[in-house]
Structure 1
Amino acid sequence: MSKSFNKIFLEGSDDSELYPIISLDDRPGEEEIDLKSGEVLPILSLRNMVIFPGVLSPVSVARPKSMKLIREAQENESLIGVCTQIDTRIDDPTYEQLYPLGTIAQIVRILEMPDGTTTVILEGKKRFRLGTVVTEKPYIKAHVNLFDDVKIDTKDKVFQALVSSIKDLTINIVSKSGTMPPETAFAIRNIENPVFMINYICTNMGFDVKDKQRLLEIDNPSDRGYKLLELLDKESQLIDLKLSIQNKAKEGIDQQQREYFLQQQMRTIQSELGDLSPEQDLDELRERADSKKWSEAVAKTFYKELKKLERMHPHSPDYSTQLNYIETMLDLPWNEYTKDNFNLRNAKKVLDKDHFGMDTVKERILEHLAVLKLKGDMKSPIICLYGPPGVGKTSLGRSIATALNRKYVRVSLGGLHDEAEIRGHRRTYIGALPGRIIQNVLKAESANPVFVLDEIDKITADYKGDPSSALLEVLDPEQNMAFHDNYLDVDFDLSKVMFIATANNLNTIPRPLLDRMELIEVSGYTQEEKIEIAYRHLVPKELENHGLKSDDFVLTKPIIQQLIEKYTRESGVRSLNRQIASLMRKVAKKVASGEKYNVELTEDDLTEYLGASRYSSDKYEGNEYAGVVTGLAWTQVGGEILFIESSISKSKAPKLTLTGNLGDVMKESAVLALEYIKSHADKLGISNEQLDENSVHIHVPEGAIPKDGPSAGITMVTALVSAFTGRKVRKNIAMTGEITLRGKVLPVGGIKEKILAAKRAGITDIILCAENKKDIDEIKKVYLKGLKFHFVTDIMEVVDFALLKQKA
C-alpha cells in the first residue's frame, strides 16, 4: 500500500502523521444539519486527505489563514466547508485550485500538540458542491449547495452481501499488511451502520487522494461500496504479490543473497543521507544529455545505450560497465571549444617570455594563429619538434597553450607498445578503457586543446599491435575529424586539436607517420643562448625553488659562461640547471647557518662549490707547424673546433694511415683528399716523387671521441697540401666543407653551431662553401661580430687563401 491504514498525511504538513480517531457510534451516512443550500460558509482546504460524512478525522493545521478560520468558527460555533486541493504541491491554493465537491464539517475539538502544532478534530456532516466565491481574504468564503441524501435499503440482501465483502476484505488486508494495529480490525468488526462503515474505510484506507475524491463524489452508497470493493481488491492483490515475492526470496536465501540484502540496506541508508537512487541517476543522465552539443548520430547511439541501462538491474555485473560508458560519453566535450586568443602581440610576448631563441618554432605558431584569426576555422596542423634532449620541446607545448588560451594536455609515448593504448579497448573486455587520446581529451574538457605527444620516436611494436600505425589516423588532418576509439565506438572529431609531437631522432619514426607531420628542428642552444637562458629563466626559477632572494645569490654572465664551458657539455640546458641548483644549495646552507660567503659568485667559488672543471674547450693553437689545419665540427652538444694533423714520412711502400677514431664517411674524405692531390699535384706544387716515396698519416686528436661526417673534406686537403709543400697555414683561420673528386666544395650543415664554436676559440676568418651563405644570413648579427667569412666553390680557392707562400 502507498500509505498505512492507520496513518494519514495531514493538511499543512507533508511530514505530520496521526492515528485516526476510531468511533464505534452508529453514525448515519449523511446527517441532517441546520443549514440551507446557498448559504455562505468558510472553506478549509486540505492537502492530502478527504473528509467523509459521519467520520471523525484529525486534521493538522499549519497555514496562518487556516488557523484564523478554525479559531473564528469555534468561537461562532459555526459549520465549515472542507475541500481537498487538486495539486498537493501548492502551499496557498485559490478557489479554482480546489475540488468543487466537499463535506460540511463541525469542529469537535482543537488540540495543541506537544511539538507545537495544532490539530483539529472534524466531524463530517453532509456533502456539498461549491457555489460562487464571496471572498478569498483572509480565507475563502463561498456559497454552498447541499446534496440531498440518497436513501438506500440497508436490509437489501445484495447490499448486505456487498458490505460483508468489504468488511472481510478490509480485515484481511489489515491482518496481512503487518503494519496496522489490531485495533483497526476490531473497530471495523464492531461498526454496525453499513453506510458509516463504507465512509469510515474510505477515509482511513491508504488510497490515493484522487481515488478518495472519486469515492466522495459518488452519490449512491451502494455504488460507492462497489467502487470501494474494487480498490480494496487491487490493494489485496498488491499485498499478496508482495508477500509472494518475500516468500520466494526467503526460500533460496544464502550467503551471497544475505550480503546482497545488506548492501541494499547500505544503499538505502546512503540514499537517506543524500545519495541518488538509480531512478534519480537516470534522470540526471537525461538532463545532462539534453545539454550536450553532439551530432544526431551520437545522440541516437547514446539514447540507445541509455535504454539498455534502464533495462538492467542496478546490481547486475554489467550495470556498472554500461554506466561507465554512458558517463564517458557525457563527460566528453562534444563540439565544446575554448575561445582562441587572437592577439598576436600577446602570443609573441608569452612565447618570448617562456623560451629564449626558437625563432622558427615561434614564427610557425604565430602564422597558425594569424590564419585562424583571418579564416575563423582551420584544421589544426600536426607539428613535430625534433632535436636533442633538454632544449625545451615539451615545455614549448605549454607555452603554446597559454599563448592560444587553450587547455594543455600531454601524453608520454615512450615505451608504448600496445595499440589499445591509442585506440582503447572494446567494451567486451573486463576493465575496458578509452585510449590515451580520448582520456586526455576528457581531462582537457574541451575539443580543441594543445595536445603534446611526447617522445613519439620511442614507440615500440610487439604482438599486441603497432601503436605508431594507430597514430596514423590521429595525426592525419584529413582523417582525425572522425577518429574511432574502440571503447567509445562512435566517431569523435579531433580536427580542432593542435597536436605537437616531440622526438629526438627522426630515423626511428615510421615513414608514413613522419609524412603526416610538419617537421620543425629545434637545434641545440649556442653558448650565448645558454647564457641568456640561464640569466633570464633558470636563475630566477631556482632562486624561488630554494627560498633565496635576489640579493642572496648573484650569478653574472661571465661566471655563467665559465659554468657552461667547464661543468656542462650538452645541447640543452638540463645539466646547466642542475649545476645552478647545486650552487644554490651550497649558498642556501650558508645562509641558513649564518656563514659568510660571496654573494656574487667568482670563478674560485665555482671550484669550491662544484669541484675541479670537468670539461675543457679547444683553443686555437697557432700556425707554427705545417700540416695542421683547424676544422669545424657539429656535435649533439653544440659546435666544436678540431685539428686535422697530417705528416709525411719516407717509405718504400707508401700508404695512407688514419687515426683518431674516424667514421667511414670521414675516412672516405681522407682518401678522396689524397687522390685529389695526386691528380692535381702539378697545380699544387707537389712532385710525383714526393707522392711515390712518402707515406701519409692523418690524425684527429682526442681519439677516444668518435668522429664522422663529410664536413672535414676541405680541411684534410689543406692539411695534406701544407704537409707536402711545407707552406704555413694562415693565422686564426678555420674551415668546413665537403669536397668532390673534381675539387668542388659542397655545403654542410650545423653552420650556426660551428661558427659560434670558432668565435669562442678565437678564430677570425672562416672558409665556407658559397652555398652556405644563406645559413649565415639567418644568424643574428650580434653572433657574427668579429668574424670574416670567405665563400668558395673550388678547393683551389681554399688552398690559395688558407696557405701562405712562407714556409713553416
Structure 2
Amino acid sequence: GHRRTYVGAMPGRILQGMRQAKTKNPVFLLDEVDKLGVSFQGDPSSALLEVLDPAQNSTFVDHYLGIPFDLSEVLFIATANYLDRIPGPLFDRMERVDFTGYTEAEKLEIGKRYLFPRQLKENGLNEEELEMGNDALLAIIQKYTREAGVRQLEREIGKFARKVARRIAAGKIDELQATEVEVRELLGRPRVHPERMAAEDTVGVATGMFYTPMGGDIMFVEASVMPGESSLVLTGQLGDVMKESGRAALSYSKAHWKTLGIPEDSLQGKEVHIHVPAGAVPKDGPSAGITMATALISAVSGKKVRSDLAMTGELTLTGRVLPIGGLKEKVLGAVRAGISQIILPIENEADLEDIPEDLRTSLTFHLASTLDDVVKIALVDRKKPKKRRASAKRHRSVKNAAATA
C-alpha cells in the first residue's frame, strides 16, 4: 500500500481483497507466479516473502495502515507452469502440489459436457442446429491441439461453431451433425502431427519417451557406428545433461562389451554418432540414458530394437537404471503413438498407480534395475528368437498391473 501522506493513497491489494471479501480468512489465488518480473518499481517476489512465510505474516505491515496486521489465517494458493522459474526463497515457503495433464478420454468428456455447450450458447446456436459426436471432438483433440489442459480445445470448438453459425446465417445449411470430415473441411488441415511408433523393428533405432508442460510423446534415438577416429558425435540440439547420458552409454558399452554380447573391437577405432530427430527442438534431461545405450548396442551388435516398445530411465556408468519423473505424461504420449510395451526403472513401480486403470490393463510394463534387463527385453536376436522369451524370466514384468517417468 501507499503511505497516507501521498495523494490518492490506498491500502495494498491484499488488504483491499480482504475488505472486498469481508472476512479475515479469505483465499487468495496468485496466478502464474513463475512470471513475476523485476522492474524499477520493485521486486514482487521479495514482497511476497513476508506474506507467504507463516512465521512472519502474523505481523504483516501495510504502509497505509502503518500497524501490524495478522495474515496467518489467510490461505494463499499460487499457480505456475515452470517450477525452475520461481525464485528459490519464495518457492521454499510453499507446499508443492503437482497436477498432471488430462488424458484424451478426460478431454473428450470435458469437451462434451462443458466446452461444447458453452460454445453453442456463445455463438447463438442450439442443440438442434449443431451436434458434435465423439469422433469429431476426438479429431479436434488429436489433430488440432497439443496441450496439457483444454484452453486450446475450447478455442478450436468455438472456431468450428462460428463457421457453422455463419453457414446457417447464410442459408447454406439448416443444421449440421459434425463428423471428422466436417472438422477437416471447416478447420483446415491438421496442425498437430504427433509421432507414431516405427512400422518395423530397426537396427540402431530405439524409442524413448519425453514430456513437457504441453504433454508427453515419444522420440526416436538413432545410433550409427562407422570407421574413423575414436570419437562420439551427438546431434539433435541436445542439452548438457543429455550429452552426458550419451557419453555414459558409450563408456558402459566399451567397458561391458562381453556382457552385452558385442565384439571386443567393435568400438575401437570407430566413430559413434547418436542423433535425436527434430533437430530444431531443444532437448535435455537424463531419462534418455537407457534409450541411447540400447540404440548404440543395437547398432554395434546388428540386433534390431523392438518397435512396439518404448523406454525411459537414467543410466549410470555401472549400468544401474535410476528413476525418472513425469511417468504418467510419458505413458499417455506412448499410448497415443501406438506403443504397447514400456520399460521403466524398477524404482518407479509405485508411480504406476497414477496411470488410469484402462491404460494399465492394455499395456505391458517391464521394470528394469540394470541395463542388462533393458537389453534382454528390447533387442531381437535374429539367430535365436527364443532367447528373448527365456531371458524375460530374469527381469520383473508387470502385465495388467493394478498396483508415470
TM score, norm. by length of structure 1: 0.46
* 1:698 paired to 2:269: no
Partners of 1:773 and 1:464 in 2: CA distance: 49
The aligned residue for residue 475 of structure 1 is 52
Task: Quote how far apart the aligned CAs of 1:598 are.
Answer: 6.3
* 1:718 paired to 2:285: no
Partners of 1:466 and 1:617 in 2: CA distance: 40
The aligned residue for residue 547 of structure 1 is 124
- Shift in CA distance, 622/593, structure 1 to aligned 2, threshold 3 Å: closer
Q: Quick one: which amino acid aligns to residue 533 of structure 1? A: I
Q: Quick one: which amino acid aligns to residue 36 of structure 2? A: I
Q: Which moved more, 1:581-590 or 1:471-480?
A: 471-480
Task: Quote how far apart the aligned CAs of 1:463 are.
Answer: 4.8
The aligned residue for residue 511 of structure 1 is 88
The aligned residue for residue 141 of structure 2 is 564
8 A contact 2:81–2:213 mirrored in 1? no
CA RMSD of aligned residues (A): 1.9
2:178 is paired with a residue of what secondary structure? coil
Partners of 1:722 and 1:670 in 2: CA distance: 14
2:207 to 607, 630, 646: 630
Partners of 1:700 and 1:508 in 2: CA distance: 27
2:84 is paired with a residue of what secondary structure? helix
2:176 is paired with a residue of what secondary structure? coil
* 1:669 paired to 2:245: yes
Could you report, residue by residue, the CA deviation over 1:715-734 in whole angstroms, capped at 9, with x for unpaired residues? 11111111111112234111
The aligned residue for residue 61 of structure 2 is 484
Task: Quote how far apart the aligned CAs of 1:464 are.
Answer: 4.2
1:520 to 88, 94, 97: 97
- Shift in CA distance, 565/597, structure 1 to aligned 2, threshold 3 Å: farther
* 1:648 paired to 2:225: yes
- Shift in CA distance, 597/769, structure 1 to aligned 2, threshold 3 Å: farther
The aligned residue for residue 399 of structure 2 is none
Partners of 1:588 and 1:707 in 2: CA distance: 42
The aligned residue for residue 576 of structure 1 is 153
Partners of 1:545 and 1:593 in 2: CA distance: 18
| Aligned pairs for 1:33-182 within 5 A | none
8 A contact 1:623–1:729 mirrored in 2? no
Partners of 1:748 and 1:562 in 2: CA distance: 31
Q: Quick one: which amino acid aligns to residue 56 of structure 2? A: Q
Which is bigger in relative contact order (C-alpha 8 A, separation at least 6)?
Answer: 2
* 1:742 paired to 2:318: yes
The aligned residue for residue 109 of structure 1 is none
- Shift in CA distance, 463/637, structure 1 to aligned 2, threshold 3 Å: closer
The aligned residue for residue 685 of structure 1 is 261
Partners of 2:369 and 2:124 in 1: CA distance: 57
Kindly indicate which of the two structures has a greater share of residues assigned to helix: 1
The aligned residue for residue 762 of structure 1 is 338
Larger Rg: 1
8 A contact 2:235–2:276 mirrored in 1? yes
Task: Quote how far apart the aligned CAs of 1:441 are.
Answer: 1.5
Task: Quote how far apart the aligned CAs of 1:475 are.
Answer: 1.6
8 A contact 2:289–2:312 mirrored in 1? yes
* 1:586 paired to 2:163: yes
2:130 is paired with a residue of what secondary structure? coil
Could you report, residue by residue, the CA deviation over 1:41-66 in whole angstroms, capped at 9, with x for unpaired residues? xxxxxxxxxxxxxxxxxxxxxxxxxx
Partners of 2:137 and 2:325 in 1: CA distance: 28
The aligned residue for residue 393 of structure 2 is none
Q: Quick one: which amino acid aligns to residue 289 of structure 2? A: G
Could you report, residue by residue, the CA deviation over 1:352-394 in whole angstroms, capped at 9, with x for unpaired residues? xxxxxxxxxxxxxxxxxxxxxxxxxxxxxxxxxxxxxxxxxxx
2:363 to 787, 790, 803: 787
Task: Quote how far apart the aligned CAs of 1:432 are.
Answer: 1.3
1:805 to 381, 387, 395: 381
2:129 is paired with a residue of what secondary structure? coil
8 A contact 1:633–1:641 mirrored in 2? yes
Partners of 1:498 and 1:556 in 2: CA distance: 42
Task: Quote how far apart the aligned CAs of 1:462 are.
Answer: 4.2
Could you report, residue by residue, the CA deviation over 1:304-331 in whole angstroms, capped at 9, with x for unpaired residues? xxxxxxxxxxxxxxxxxxxxxxxxxxxx
Q: Quick one: which amino acid aligns to residue 94 of structure 2? A: M
2:78 to 501, 518, 528: 501
- Shift in CA distance, 761/466, structure 1 to aligned 2, threshold 3 Å: closer
8 A contact 1:425–1:434 mirrored in 2? yes
- Shift in CA distance, 595/621, structure 1 to aligned 2, threshold 3 Å: same
The aligned residue for residue 771 of structure 1 is 347
* 1:730 paired to 2:310: no
- Shift in CA distance, 731/431, structure 1 to aligned 2, threshold 3 Å: closer
Could you report, residue by residue, the CA deviation over 1:153-206 in whole angstroms, capped at 9, with x for unpaired residues? xxxxxxxxxxxxxxxxxxxxxxxxxxxxxxxxxxxxxxxxxxxxxxxxxxxxxx
Aligned residues: percent identity? 51
The aligned residue for residue 196 of structure 2 is 619
The aligned residue for residue 271 of structure 1 is none
Task: Quote how far apart the aligned CAs of 1:801 are.
Answer: 1.5
Partners of 1:792 and 1:541 in 2: CA distance: 47
Could you report, residue by residue, the CA deviation over 1:50-88 in whole angstroms, capped at 9, with x for unpaired residues? xxxxxxxxxxxxxxxxxxxxxxxxxxxxxxxxxxxxxxx
Partners of 1:736 and 1:597 in 2: CA distance: 51
Task: Quote how far apart the aligned CAs of 1:465 are.
Answer: 3.7
- Runs of 4+ in structure 1 over 6 Å off: none
Task: Quote how far apart the aligned CAs of 1:614 are.
Answer: 1.0
8 A contact 1:526–1:638 mirrored in 2? no
| Aligned pairs for 1:404-443 within 5 A | 424-443=1-20
Mark the runs of 5 or more structure 1 residues left unpaired by the alignment.
1-423
2:325 is paired with a residue of what secondary structure? coil
Task: Quote how far apart the aligned CAs of 1:743 are.
Answer: 0.1
| Aligned pairs for 1:333-412 within 5 A | none
Partners of 2:145 and 2:174 in 1: CA distance: 24
- Shift in CA distance, 478/528, structure 1 to aligned 2, threshold 3 Å: same
8 A contact 1:623–1:728 mirrored in 2? no
Could you report, residue by residue, the CA deviation over 1:104-150 in whole angstroms, capped at 9, with x for unpaired residues? xxxxxxxxxxxxxxxxxxxxxxxxxxxxxxxxxxxxxxxxxxxxxxx
Q: Quick one: which amino acid aligns to residue 556 of structure 1? A: G
1:688 is paired with a residue of what secondary structure? coil
Partners of 1:555 and 1:708 in 2: CA distance: 40
Partners of 1:598 and 1:670 in 2: CA distance: 57
8 A contact 2:129–2:174 mirrored in 1? no
8 A contact 1:524–1:572 mirrored in 2? yes
Partners of 2:207 and 2:38 in 1: CA distance: 45
1:487 is paired with a residue of what secondary structure? coil
Partners of 1:461 and 1:622 in 2: CA distance: 51
Task: Quote how far apart the aligned CAs of 1:620 are.
Answer: 1.0
2:102 is paired with a residue of what secondary structure? coil
Task: Quote how far apart the aligned CAs of 1:623 are.
Answer: 3.4
- Shift in CA distance, 719/538, structure 1 to aligned 2, threshold 3 Å: same
Q: Quick one: which amino acid aligns to residue 200 of structure 2? A: N
Task: Quote how far apart the aligned CAs of 1:601 are.
Answer: 1.3
Partners of 1:592 and 1:455 in 2: CA distance: 40
Partners of 1:776 and 1:603 in 2: CA distance: 33
- Shift in CA distance, 784/550, structure 1 to aligned 2, threshold 3 Å: farther
8 A contact 2:311–2:344 mirrored in 1? yes
Task: Quote how far apart the aligned CAs of 1:497 are.
Answer: 2.3
Task: Quote how far apart the aligned CAs of 1:791 are.
Answer: 0.2
Q: Quick one: which amino acid aligns to residue 253 of structure 2? A: I
Partners of 1:746 and 1:597 in 2: CA distance: 59
8 A contact 2:62–2:68 mirrored in 1? yes
8 A contact 1:460–1:466 mirrored in 2? yes
8 A contact 2:207–2:219 mirrored in 1? yes
* 1:595 paired to 2:169: no
Give the length in aligned residue pairs: 384
The aligned residue for residue 390 of structure 2 is none
Partners of 1:471 and 1:650 in 2: CA distance: 59
